[in-house]
Chain A
Amino acid sequence: MTDRFVTRGFVGRRTPPGAGDVSSRIPPGQYLTTDFPVLSAGPTPRTPLDRWSFTIKGLVEASRVWSWNEFTALPNREWVVDISCVTKWTKLDMRWRGISVDTMLEAIDLKPEAAFAIAYSDGGYTTNLPIADLLNDQAFVAYEYDGQPLAPEHGGPARLVVPARYFWKSAKWVRGLRIQATDEPGFWESLGYHNRGDQWLEERYSGD
């Protein structure tokens, strides 16, 4: 640890209004918010549900494509998770409904060399994750938020959610996973953001 720089006159607010004792749930450098900010790099894509599908392809024995109706008929459940965005907000107890990535992977056979997943979205967005970070209920594809269909500006009709990583890994408007043997930086990972993005290790930018 290097010497800490102290900002003259700064005390801080400490416990945000109504926060209770939740400080242990807020990763370093983050602040608590109660609303749901929107961030994205470009216009919000809108794909009608009858043209929507979810695909797992790449290093699999056979690609799998689900229509919207097939996809939402898969076993699903409610998830209540804390979310941290690299822009510094953390929101607690976000309530989603979605399908575990485990459930999807039960329907396919990965090839032995499969190690990484590239989530890809309408609008061209991509983000990369090791498959190991998606297993054991660590990731799901959400299509409801707080009891309502997921709004387009929040990534609807469906977005990946990976609560243990900064929120850019939770690809909005997700349309599938491309399975690979080698890692490949996604959109923000190519623009200076951290390749893994673990908020508890404060992996915001490349080199952190």
Chain B
Amino acid sequence: MAGGIAWQIATVTAITDETPTVRSFTLTVPDWPGHRAGQHIDLRLTAEDGYSVQRSYSIASAAAAGTIDITVERIDDGEVSPFLHDVVVVGDRLELRGPIGGYFVWEPALDGPLFLVAGGSGVVPLMAMVRERERARVETRTRLLFSSRHYEEIIYREELDRLAASNRGFEVIHALTRSRPDGWMGYDRRIDDRIIGEVLEPLGSRARVYICGPTALVETAANAMLRLGLPPDRVRTERFGPTGT
């Protein structure tokens, strides 16, 4: 294991409901070295008899020593997310290692406007970027295009609204695909080429793009970016399928 990424014991210090099916867990990790926005952890759960499972979760919080947040959607037929939602309480200890991943990452020193495209819980690593941008007090122009099914399912909605209202170069543009509240001003359909074109337009072709969500959304958005003239190496993707339990 020398030089590897060691397993550590974290303590759950807060649990926050984000939506009816999405919950965030604040984990205190004594030897956490800090991380880059976009990286993930591996979580390992072990039963009394040694049966063990692992899952990867994106980190939702900005870089900080000693603590991270993860945000977990409850998948009803999953093995791990129902345990995290239904059993874990503040004070519990969980085994994890990280940070992991070195490509789908963003750092405040990077140039160029930022175009983030999220579908559902794919927003989590992008939220780490938004929070890191805020923590570092950089004013990199940033637009987050965020597709959710229903208004009530928009993860981090209040925080995103607050950051956008502070008018420091961050905007959030929502698309709601299933239902809309009365007077909805955002997009009312799935993300398509036209939406990508409209949201990209003010950022121009020097934008750095990060896309995270279900495969169909990622394919649509990434293909649209190329058609709109962005070089492939400016477009970074991360996907999850229906098995992201």
Residues 176-208 of chain A, each 1 if its beta carbon lies under 8 Å from chain B, else 0: 000000000001100110000000000011111
For chain B, the bracket of interface size reads: 35 or more
**B92 within 8 Å of A (CB atoms):** yes
CA distance A109 to B83 in the complex (A): 55
Contact status B215-A44, CB under 8 Å: no
Interface residues of B in 42-76 (CB under 8 A from A): 42, 44-48, 50-56
Contact status B56-A191, CB under 8 Å: no
CA distance A192 to B98 in the complex (A): 11
**B110 within 8 Å of A (CB atoms):** no
Interface residues of A in 1-30 (CB under 8 A from B): 4-14, 16, 28-30
Kindly specify which of A34-42, A68-76, A140-148 makes contact with the partner chain. Answer: A34-42
Contact status A37-B239, CB under 8 Å: yes
For chain A, the bracket of interface size reads: 35 or more
Contact status A153-B92, CB under 8 Å: no
**B181 within 8 Å of A (CB atoms):** no
**B223 within 8 Å of A (CB atoms):** yes
**B136 within 8 Å of A (CB atoms):** no
Which A residues have a C-beta under 8 Å from some C-beta of B? 4-14, 16, 28-31, 33, 35-45, 87-89, 123-124, 153, 187-188, 191-192, 204-208
Per CB-CB distance, the 9 closest pairs between chain A and chain B, nearest first, are A207-B4, A37-B241, A191-B102, A43-B222, A207-B3, A29-B54, A13-B79, A9-B87, A33-B243
A-B contact pairs, 9 of them (CB 8 A): A7-B95, A10-B45, A12-B45, A12-B47, A41-B236, A124-B232, A153-B219, A206-B3, A207-B3
- Besides the contacts A29-B53, A43-B232, A123-B232, what 18 more A-B pairs have beta carbons closer than 8 Å? A5-B46, A7-B93, A11-B47, A12-B79, A31-B55, A39-B238, A40-B239, A41-B236, A43-B222, A43-B225, A45-B232, A187-B103, A191-B101, A191-B103, A206-B5, A207-B2, A207-B3, A207-B5
